[in-house]
């Protein structure tokens, strides 16, 4: 293929050698040179025929035919730039979207997790019915029971994400300014369980988590490079983690990612013997023994759960320890989203293919004279089909190349958007497997849009072709085929538009949910403060004095209306959860009150957020010296005190607390969740370590935030201030996943709508071009422009109506897959279905208008003179 001239030269030399040898033989037996040449040529039966035989033996004729077809296809496509560009755009859009989404699916769902034998890794959770989830947090007491009764796991570890610190460490090294880093505490064999070795240094050694051993910490490659300039001298360095000295023992490679993608440090978790079964901040991770199944491990954990339940009845009735494959936990909620996106881009791909198939059919009609001539001079149907398929293959491969470029742009954009809900984001790339998928998609599209038009174009008899094509007309069968393709495009477009419409309406409804506070969210500054350092650490009185100064100075700042602190923040940072007891309202044996959010707040917290007071009062300074006070939410009051006044009643959490007020419901578990019972306690100096500072402002929040940070630095320069934001930004972050999937579905739906409009326009425009003489005759016989407009627009509208009807019928069943992603909207939402039908109907009319206007302006005399 690539050395054709060289091969032909060798072939000439080989045949001339044989010819000359035969001539010499004939001369040797007595013939004259002329007779010898004549006899030799007759024996060879012609040099060209022998060359063809040699080429056939080497399969050169097939290769030459393919090359010839490819060159002819390129010339043919170049002569039709409008068709070629439109087809390339459609194919690049369809293939590129599928390639981009497949790159995500390939990484998240198909590629093995980057751990040693990941199929043996599982996660363990405490899933009491009281918690209401299969993935509840466990306690140290749970972990010790797991280790004692373990018969299924080769290794068993825990990691802690503290709800009070929101999974953060205050990090101080080399006497520098403390900063907040993402981190959690782990048991000693945590890294060994994953089978991942440190980049430099060591992980934790067995026994490092025993009480009395020195505190150690392992840092991520990102923190190592960012904070320590990738110096190997970091090993053995002393740092302060939350004010406590730790020694850095190793650096984990950047490829190690678990639970969160931006973890900076893992500190050792000390196995201090627990005095109770709480608190519940731990998750378990384990490696199954070889040959042990998930079911067998769960049976083992069930035995342990029954033992714990018997020893702690009735508080732990119904206790279960869940055992889940680690892939299911890592992938999480991304799995249904990715399958929905995969189905959506497949619909875009099919719409693009149908669009190009329609264009190819129309183009085949205009090439009937060419096809008839080729048939008349002996070309077979197979040759014509091969030529059409070659043109389709050239188009598809070119569209695939452009699609790869678009997919790479999409992946780059995805990395820049950094959706936190998408796991393994750093691994997503257009790799060899993705390129193989693109090639397969290109070949598939070539067959899908090339084969049927090729068979139709080559299947009509010569006489019928000349009769239909003498004036460039289109056969009735071919017209029906093109109409059916448009109907299919519209139907698929309906599915995408309805899916996008449901997600958009769901996101809109979610955005209108009240989180429970009345303060304008854009005017509430929030920041996370972790007071540490030699002046504060381990000194409750100094900590309380620090916060008194902070609040006093903030209140004096210009533009500040109110300031409060808490360990929780709406709409999705709940802080601490636990159960409680209501005085005088005993429960049935073996039952408990539900586990609810328990925010610890300062007196001005309610005012800073604008949480409405419904009855009684909120906290004041006198409550610090009193026996204990509590404020409950409206839902808790309705749950426990229906028809009675809860003020003065008592609720118990550790100590008995008097209920002094009822406030409006506030969402702490996300906007999509139901309003849960909440009760507030006064934040005391023992709980002021890691809290949210909430400040309500009158004007520029940026200026106020800077002033607040500066005041804190003046009070104690080593106290870190992190995650400075506004309540509006926090609320927007809480709905990032619904916004992300709505955006993607909207992009896919808009692409499908554009392709469907092009398809309708193409069919109607081509129909007008083919019916020019017919329309001219009708107008010559008295037809008006209005009747012509009505006729042409009606053709496009009829196709759209059939497609819309088919799409709506299919959508009633298929939209059920979106059920888990919807909020406040049903999968069969009538408004969305009607709006989709109206939009597509309007698009169909708009796409038909230009061809209809052209048809109405046809000059009958000019039309009748056309051949």
Tell me the per-residue pLDDT of 175-217, one tens digit each, with 9 for 90 and over: 777 888 989 899 999 999 999 999 999 999 888 999 989 999 9
Question: How far, in Å, CA of 212 to CA of 268, rounded?
Answer: 12
From the list 354, 384, 363, 364, the residue with the least C-alpha distance to 445 is 354
Question: How far, in Å, CA of 650 to CA of 659, rounded?
Answer: 6
pLDDT of the residue at 590: 60
Question: How far, in Å, CA of 223 to CA of 204, rounded?
Answer: 18
pLDDT tens-place string over residues 295-341: 999 999 999 999 998 888 777 778 899 999 999 888 877 888 888 88
pLDDT of the residue at 483: 81
**CA-to-CA dists, residue 654 to 116, 140, 580, angstroms:** 45, 20, 8
Tell me the sheet residues that pair with 663.
Answer: 613, 633
Q: Is 562 helix (H, G, I), strand (E, B) or coil?
A: strand
In sequence order, the 6+-apart residues with CB closer than 8 A to the CB of 29 are none
Say what the pTM is: 0.80
The model's confidence at residue 805, banded by pLDDT at 50, 70 and 90, is very high
**374-388, 392-406, 408-422 — which is least confidently predicted?**
374-388
Question: How far, in Å, CA of 47 to CA of 50, rounded?
Answer: 5
pLDDT of the residue at 132: 55
Output helix, strand, coil percentages for the chain, rounded to the nearest 5: 55, 15, 30
The model's confidence at residue 795, banded by pLDDT at 50, 70 and 90, is confident
How distant is the alpha carbon of residue 258 from its chain centre?
Answer: 18
Q: How far apart are the first and last CA of the chain?
A: 44
Peptide bond preceding 279 in cis form (omega within 30 of 0): yes
pLDDT of the residue at 472: 44
Residues 426 and 412: beta-carbon distance below 8 Å: no
- With 50 as the cut, is the pLDDT of residue 465 above it? no
Q: Is 378 helix (H, G, I), strand (E, B) or coil?
A: coil
pLDDT tens-place string over residues 536-589: 777 788 888 888 899 999 999 999 999 999 988 999 887 777 788 899 887 766
- With 50 as the cut, is the pLDDT of residue 290 above it? yes
Specify the residue for token string 């539900």.
594
pLDDT of the residue at 865: 62
| Mean pLDDT estimate for the chain | 85
Question: How far, in Å, CA of 497 to CA of 824, rounded?
Answer: 18
pLDDT tens-place string over residues 348-394: 999 998 888 888 877 766 666 666 666 666 555 667 777 778 888 89
**CA-to-CA dists, residue 523 to 196, 225, 559, 699, angstroms:** 46, 37, 10, 7
In sequence order, the 6+-apart residues with CB closer than 8 A to the CB of 724 are 525, 526, 527, 705, 709
Residues 408 and 430: beta-carbon distance below 8 Å: yes
Q: Which residue did the predictor score with more confidence, 608 or 173? A: 608
Question: How far, in Å, CA of 796 to CA of 72, rounded?
Answer: 34
pLDDT of the residue at 239: 93
pLDDT of the residue at 168: 82
Question: How far, in Å, CA of 428 to CA of 527, rounded?
Answer: 32
Q: Which residue did the predictor score with more confidence, 807 or 370? A: 807
pLDDT tens-place string over residues 16-38: 788 788 878 878 878 888 888 87
- With 50 as the cut, is the pLDDT of residue 469 above it? no
Continuous H helices in 124-204 = 140-149, 190-194
Question: How far, in Å, CA of 832 to CA of 829, rounded?
Answer: 6
pLDDT tens-place string over residues 698-735: 988 899 999 999 999 899 888 888 889 999 998 888 88
Question: How far, in Å, CA of 92 to CA of 403, rounded?
Answer: 4
Q: Is 182 helix (H, G, I), strand (E, B) or coil?
A: strand
Residues 417 and 110: beta-carbon distance below 8 Å: no
């Amino acid at each position: 293929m690539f050395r054709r001239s060289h091969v032909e030269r060798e072939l000439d030399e080989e045949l001339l050698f044989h010819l000359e040898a035969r001539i010499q033989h004939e001369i040797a037996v007595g013939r004259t040179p002329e007779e010898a040449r004549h006899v030799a040529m007759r024996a060879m039966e012609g040099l060209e025929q022998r060359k063809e035989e040699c080429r056939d033996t080497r399969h050169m004729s097939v290769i030459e035919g393919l090359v010839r077809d490819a060159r002819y296809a390129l010339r043919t496509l170049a002569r039709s730039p409008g068709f070629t560009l439109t087809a390339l755009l459609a194919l690049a859009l369809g293939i590129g979207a599928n390639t981009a989404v497949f790159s995500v699916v390939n990484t998240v769902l198909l590629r093995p997790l980057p751990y040693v034998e990941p199929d043996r890794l599982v996660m363990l959770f405490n899933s009491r019915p009281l918690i209401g989830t299969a993935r509840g947090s466990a306690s140290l007491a749970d972990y010790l029971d797991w280790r004692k009764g373990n018969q299924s796991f080769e290794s068993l570890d825990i990691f802690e994400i503290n709800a009070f610190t929101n999974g953060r460490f205050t990090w101080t090294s080399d006497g520098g300014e403390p900063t907040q880093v993402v981190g959690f505490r782990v048991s000693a064999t945590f890294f060994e369980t994953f089978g991942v070795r440190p980049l430099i240094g060591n992980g934790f050694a067995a026994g490092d988590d025993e009480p009395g051993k020195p505190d150690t910490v392992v840092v991520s490659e990102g923190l190592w490079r960012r904070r320590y300039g990738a110096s190997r001298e970091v090993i053995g360095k002393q740092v302060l983690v939350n004010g406590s000295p730790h020694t850095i023992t190793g650096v984990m490679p950047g490829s190690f990612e678990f639970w969160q993608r931006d973890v900076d440090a893992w500190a050792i978790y000390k196995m201090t013997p627990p005095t109770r079964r709480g608190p519940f901040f731990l998750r378990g991770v384990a490696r199954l023994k070889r040959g042990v199944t998930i079911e067998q491990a769960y049976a083992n954990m069930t035995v342990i759960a029954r033992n714990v339940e018997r020893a702690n009845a009735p508080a732990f009735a119904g206790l279960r320890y869940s055992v889940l494959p680690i892939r299911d936990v890592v992938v999480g909620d991304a799995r249904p989203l990715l399958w929905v996106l995969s189905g959506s881009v497949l619909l875009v791909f099919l719409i693009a293919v149908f669009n190009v198939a329609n264009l190819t059919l129309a183009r085949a009609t205009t090439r009937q004279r060419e096809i008839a001539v080729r048939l008349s001079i002996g070309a077979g149907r197979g040759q014509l089909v091969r030529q059409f398929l070659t043109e389709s293959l050239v188009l598809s491969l070119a569209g695939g190349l452009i699609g790869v470029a678009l997919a790479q742009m999409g992946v780059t954009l995805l990395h820049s958007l950094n959706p936190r809900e998408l796991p393994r984001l750093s691994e997503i790339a257009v790799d060899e497997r993705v390129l193989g998928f693109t090639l397969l998609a290109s070949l598939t599209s070539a067959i899908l849009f090339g084969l049927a038009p090729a068979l139709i174009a080559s299947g009509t008899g010569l006489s019928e072709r000349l009769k239909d094509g003498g004036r460039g007309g289109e056969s009735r069968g071919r017209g029906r085929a093109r109409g059916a393709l448009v109907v299919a495009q519209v139907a698929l477009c309906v599915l995408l538009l309805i899916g996008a419409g449901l997600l958009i309406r769901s996101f809109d409804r979610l955005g209108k949910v009240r989180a429970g506070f009345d303060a304008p969210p854009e005017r509430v500054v929030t920041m996370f403060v972790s007071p540490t350092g030699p002046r504060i650490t381990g000194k409750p009185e100094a900590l309380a004095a620090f916060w008194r100064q902070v609040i006093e100075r903030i209140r004096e700042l210009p533009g500040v209306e109110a300031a409060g602190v808490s360990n929780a923040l709406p709409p999705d940072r709940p802080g601490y959860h636990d159960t409680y007891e209501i005085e005088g309202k005993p429960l049935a044996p073996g039952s408990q009150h539900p586990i609810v959010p328990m925010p610890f707040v300062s007196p001005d917290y309610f005012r800073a957020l604008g949480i409405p007071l419904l009855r009684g009062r909120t906290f004041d300074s006198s409550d610090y010296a009193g026996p204990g006070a509590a404020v409950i939410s409206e839902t808790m009051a309705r749950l426990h005190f229906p028809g009675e006044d809860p003020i003065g009643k008592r609720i118990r959490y550790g100590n008995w607390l008097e209920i002094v007020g009822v406030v409006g419901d506030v969402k702490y578990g996300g906007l999509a969740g139901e309003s849960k019972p909440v009760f507030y306690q006064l934040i005391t100096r023992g709980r002021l370590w890691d809290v949210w500072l909430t400040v309500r402002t009158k004007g520029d929040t940026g200026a106020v935030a800077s002033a607040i940070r500066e005041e804190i630095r003046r009070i104690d320069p080593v106290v870190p201030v992190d995650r400075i934001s506004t309540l509006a930004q926090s609320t927007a972050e809480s709905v990032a996943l619904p916004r992300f999937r709505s955006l993607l579905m909207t992009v896919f739906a808009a692409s499908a709508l554009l392709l469907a409009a092009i398809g309708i326009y193409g069919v109607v425009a081509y129909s007008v071009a083919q019916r020019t003489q017919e329309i001219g005759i009708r107008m010559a016989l008295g037809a008006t422009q209005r009747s012509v407009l009505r006729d042409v627009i009606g053709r496009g509208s009829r196709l759209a109506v059939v497609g819309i009807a088919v799409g709506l019928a299919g959508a009633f069943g298929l939209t059920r897959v979106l059920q888990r992603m919807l909020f406040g909207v049903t999968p069969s939402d009538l408004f969305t279905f009607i709006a989709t039908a109206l939009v597509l109907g309007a698009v169909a009319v708009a796409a038909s208008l230009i061809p209809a206007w052209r048809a109405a302006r046809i000059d009958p005399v000019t039309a009748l003179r056309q051949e």
